[in-house]
């Protein structure tokens, strides 16, 4: 048998699984997107109502170069990346602005699911185990709520996953400087604070002087692209000049206690509690939130879910510690997760807004539960948890979309 044929036979099952995962994700996201009212993307009615997300502006930035791209001061080259892709999709597949943007979101969702499956395979998990953990990731609240609408978080989550994939490849074979720079550029491209992942990767993989040099190259590349972006997009800002506006989001009273924030970072990305609504005057949509709503442990299913998730996380940490070969990967993952937690203990008043950024990090920890004493029970628990949270999150998504809309028309 020839080498190409042997290689194809080895990888064919993974390719088939990737295709099936992609189809399942497209079906799920299409169903979720149907929940959302069109008013969510209208400036007069949808601004900041979906857990604080700025959906009207994000949609406008994805489809219109002349819209206000001022948030590039914290999303360095997001417009330069997302707008051309959306325009290209619309040029080959006719549709409205919203339809084109949602197709891009779905495509990124498919890439994310396949990428996470690939991370599972790279981590040493078998095909079935990798599918089980990918199913949990897709069933999560973070995936269902943030990969079903136009926002920057779906893209930011993918860039974090890309860094983890490079870190995982580095366990199996040396990665060149170009890969480290590319991963660093990716992590910085969508959200400034996500650059910590690229920095962590460089610091772990190279001596500190070399790591600083590679990180400087990545910063220079993104800075040059940001200058190009400024010439192409209306009111585009330069991220390296900083943003004093972000200081207003530090230690906001609405964020609650440290416990509220930790629950929002470590639990809400997996299972969302009941959503709280704040009535607004029409035509504005109602605004919804889950901050300070507690863990939502109201029945046996919710208690079972939180206990299984806690067990998977704890076992994942044990699995990483017990795997010396994966300690470098664990350092990248640990540094990135620790930095994200430290940031969001003080930043923002709706922690669930950033759930998509926590998702690849938390799920990467859980992946290593299979290397703990749990062993083969880990993927079984992952599937059980996916069932416990998946249908619940789907129903919560529909309920949240319903709460946005007024029961009675404006007088």
Q: Is 334 exposed, middle or buried (0-12, 13-18, 19+ CB in 10 A)?
A: middle
Tokens 């395979």 found at: 121
Averaged pLDDT, 328-355: 96
Residue 250, φ and ψ in degrees, nearest 5: -90, 130
Q: What is the pLDDT of residue 2?
A: 55
Task: Look at residues 53, 25, 29, 31 and name the one whose alpha carbon lies nearest to residue 352.
Answer: 53
Residue 3 has pLDDT above 60, yes or no: no
Neighbours of 312 (CB within 10 A): 29
Residue 45 has pLDDT above 80, yes or no: no
Model pLDDT for residues 81-111, shown as the tens digit of each residue: 999 999 999 999 999 999 999 999 999 999 9
Residue 309 contacts residue 181 (beta carbons within 8 Å): no
Q: Lowest-confidence range among 10-14, 269-273, 318-322?
A: 10-14
Quote the distance between the C-alpha of residue 56 and its chain's center. 19
Tokens of 2: 């020839």
Q: What is the pLDDT of residue 237?
A: 95
Q: What Rg value do the Cα atoms of the chain yield, rounded?
A: 21
Residue 401 has pLDDT above 80, yes or no: yes
Residue 93, φ and ψ in degrees, nearest 5: -140, 95
Confidence of residue 409 (pLDDT cuts 50, 70, 90): very low
Give the integer Cα–Cα distance in Å for 253 and 242.
24
Residue 367 has pLDDT above 50, yes or no: yes
Interhelix angle 300-321/377-404, rounded to 10 degrees, is: 130
Element (H, E) at 277: strand 276-278
Residue 84 contacts residue 101 (beta carbons within 8 Å): no
Tokens 């891009």 found at: 104
Task: Look at residues 178, 172, 204, 171 and name the one whose alpha carbon lies nearest to residue 335.
Answer: 204
Q: How many residues does the chain have?
A: 411
Residue 288 has pLDDT above 50, yes or no: yes
Averaged pLDDT, 300-325: 98
Q: What is the pLDDT of residue 6?
A: 62
Model pLDDT for residues 212-225, shown as the tens digit of each residue: 999 999 999 999 99
pTM: 0.95
Q: Is 175 exposed, middle or buried (0-12, 13-18, 19+ CB in 10 A)?
A: middle
Residue 347, φ and ψ in degrees, nearest 5: -110, 135
Give the integer Cα–Cα distance in Å for 115 and 230.
31
Q: Is 337 exposed, middle or buried (0-12, 13-18, 19+ CB in 10 A)?
A: buried
Model pLDDT for residues 170-221, shown as the tens digit of each residue: 999 999 999 999 999 999 999 999 999 999 999 999 999 999 999 999 999 9
Give the integer Cα–Cα distance in Å for 181 and 174.
14
Q: Residue-wise over 218-256: b if at least 16 C-beta within 10 A, else e?
A: bbebbeebbeebbeebeebbebeeeeeeeeeeeeeeebb
- Mean pLDDT across the chain: 94
Angstrom CA distances, 72 to 47, 59, 108, 248, 407, stand at 18, 14, 20, 17, 36
Averaged pLDDT, 150-166: 97
Neighbours of 17 (CB within 10 A): 18
Residue 361 contacts residue 344 (beta carbons within 8 Å): no
Residue 154 contacts residue 109 (beta carbons within 8 Å): yes
What are the domain boundaries of the chain? 3-404
Quote the distance between the C-alpha of residue 172 and its chain's center. 25
Averaged pLDDT, 332-339: 98
Averaged pLDDT, 35-62: 89
């Amino acid at each position: 048998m020839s080498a190409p044929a042997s290689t194809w036979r080895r990888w064919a099952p993974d390719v088939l699984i990737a295709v099936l995962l992609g189809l399942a994700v497209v079906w799920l996201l299409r169903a979720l997107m149907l929940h959302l009212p069109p008013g969510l993307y209208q400036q007069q009615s949808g601004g900041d109502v979906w857990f604080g997300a700025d959906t009207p502006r994000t949609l406008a930035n994805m489809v219109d170069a002349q819209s206000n791209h001022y948030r590039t001061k914290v999303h360095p080259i997001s417009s330069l990346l997302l707008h051309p892709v959306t325009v290209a999709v619309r040029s080959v597949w006719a549709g409205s602005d919203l339809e084109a943007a949602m197709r891009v979101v779905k495509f990124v969702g498919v890439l994310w699911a396949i990428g996470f499956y690939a991370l599972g395979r790279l981590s040493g998990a078998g095909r079935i185990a990798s599918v089980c953990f990918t199913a949990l990731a897709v069933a999560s609240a973070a995936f269902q709520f943030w990969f079903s609408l136009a926002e920057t978080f779906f893209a930011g989550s993918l860039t974090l996953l890309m860094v983890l994939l490079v870190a995982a490849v580095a366990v199996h074979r040396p990665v060149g400087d170009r890969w480290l720079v590319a991963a660093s550029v990716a992590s910085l491209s969508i959200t400034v604070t996500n650059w910590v992942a690229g920095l962590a990767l460089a610091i772990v993989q190279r001596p500190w002087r070399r790591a600083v040099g590679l990180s400087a190259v990545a910063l220079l590349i993104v800075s040059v692209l940001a200058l190009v972006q400024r010439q192409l997009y209306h009111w585009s800002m330069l991220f390296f000049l900083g943003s004093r506006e972000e200081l207003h989001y530090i230690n906001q009273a609405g964020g609650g206690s440290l416990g509220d924030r930790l629950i929002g970072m470590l639990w809400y990305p997996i299972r969302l509690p009941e959503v709280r609504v704040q009535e607004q005057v029409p035509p504005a949509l109602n605004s919804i939130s889950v901050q300070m709503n507690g863990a939502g442990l109201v029945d046996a299913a919710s208690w079972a879910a939180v206990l299984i998730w806690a067990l998977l996380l704890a076992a994942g940490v044990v699995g990483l510690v017990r795997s010396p070969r994966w300690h470098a990967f664990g350092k990248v993952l640990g540094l990135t997760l620790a930095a994200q937690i430290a940031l969001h203990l003080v930043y923002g008043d709706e922690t669930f807004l950033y759930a998509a950024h926590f998702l690849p990090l938390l799920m990467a920890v859980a992946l290593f539960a299979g290397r703990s004493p749990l062993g083969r029970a880990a993927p079984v628990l992952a599937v059980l948890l996916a069932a416990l949270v998946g249908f619940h999150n789907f129903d919560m998504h529909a309920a949240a979309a319903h709460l946005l809309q007024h029961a009675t028309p404006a007088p």
